[in-house]
Structures are given as structure tokens and as C-alpha cells.
């Protein structure tokens, strides 16, 4: 799934680790990602967290999509920050799952949390292919 994710590739997101129910991805905040306040636009931070969530919830095999997500911004991302997102599966039940993602940056004093994300997943029954879109 990640290999075909053009949006994440375009932003320089790198998948560092992927295991069942878990993923770690990184992204550097570039000049095109900062807003008029000279801080990282929240949409980019959300995208990093969402990509990491997608890798974790798809780690079980069947095609799984987001059914919802929310994010709390804890600190502003800054130009040049190397953000690290870590996704952890909290629970799966039926075709649903809940995943938490922490986005942080490394500082001389240790990791500093930038955002906390909670994603809800839904496994879809049909397996999609590029030739056969989902109904």
C-alpha cells in the first residue's frame, strides 16, 4: 500500500518501521509546509499521522480504510523539524479498529510531542485493484 502512496512520497514521508498493528514514519517540515504564522500547517502534520495510521491498520492484510480520525495539536511544528510518527493499534473488533498515533520531534532535551492522533479504521470486504474500483 505505502509503495503506491503518491501523496506521501511527494511530501518525502519515509516508512521506517512496519509490523502487525504498528508503524513508524518520518517527514521533514520544508518551506512549502509552513503557513502564514511561520509554523507547520496542521494539514501536513495530520497527513503524516494519517499515513502512519494507514500503514499500521493495513498491516494485517485485508484492505483497510479510515472511517474517521481526530487530531490534537500539542506544539507547533517548525521549519526544518524532522517529525516522527508512531502508530499503535489499541483494539480491533469485527471489521473495525482504533489506532493512536503520536507525532514528535527530537530536541536536545528529548522527544517533544507535536500532535496526538486517533484513527478509526474499517476493513472493507472487497479487495480493490486499480482495474476494479470498489462499488
Where are the strands (E) in 1-135, listed by range? 14-19, 22-28, 64-73, 82-93, 96-107, 110-123
How many C-beta atoms lie closer than 10 Å to residue 39's C-beta?
18
Q: In what order do the strands lie in the sheet with 96-107?
A: 14-19, 22-28, 82-93, 96-107, 110-123, 64-73
Contacts of 35 (CB under 8 A, 6+ apart): 41
pLDDT of residue 132: 42
For residue 5, CA distances in Å to 11, 15, 54, 68, 96 come to 11, 11, 10, 19, 22
Instruction: Measure the CA–CA gap between 53 and 75, rounded to whole angstroms.
Output: 20
Per DSSP, 65 falls in state E
Q: 41-80 pLDDT, tens per residue?
A: 999 999 999 999 999 999 998 999 999 999 999 999 999 9
Q: 77-112 pLDDT, tens per residue?
A: 999 999 999 999 999 999 999 999 999 999 999 999
Amino acid at each position: 500500500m505505502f509503495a503506491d502512496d503518491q501523496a506521501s512520497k511527494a511530501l518525502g514521508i519515509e516508512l521506517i518501521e512496519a509490523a502487525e498493528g504498528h508503524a513508524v514514519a518520518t517527514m521533514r517540515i520544508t518551506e512549502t509546509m509552513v503557513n502564514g504564522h511561520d509554523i507547520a500547517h496542521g494539514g501536513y502534520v495530520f497527513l503524516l499521522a494519517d499515513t502512519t495510521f494507514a500503514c499500521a491498520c493495513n498491516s494485517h492484510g485485508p484492505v483497510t480504510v479510515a472511517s474517521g480520525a481526530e487530531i490534537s495539536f500539542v506544539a507547533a511544528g517548525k521549519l526544518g523539524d524532522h517529525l516522527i510518527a508512531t502508530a499503535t493499534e489499541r483494539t480491533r473488533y469485527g471489521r473495525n479498529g482504533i489506532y493512536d498515533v503520536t507525532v514528535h520531534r527530537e530536541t536536545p532535551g528529548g522527544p517533544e510531542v507535536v500532535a496526538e492522533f486517533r484513527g478509526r479504521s474499517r476493513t472493507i470486504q472487497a479487495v480493490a485493484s486499480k482495474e476494479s474500483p470498489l462499488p
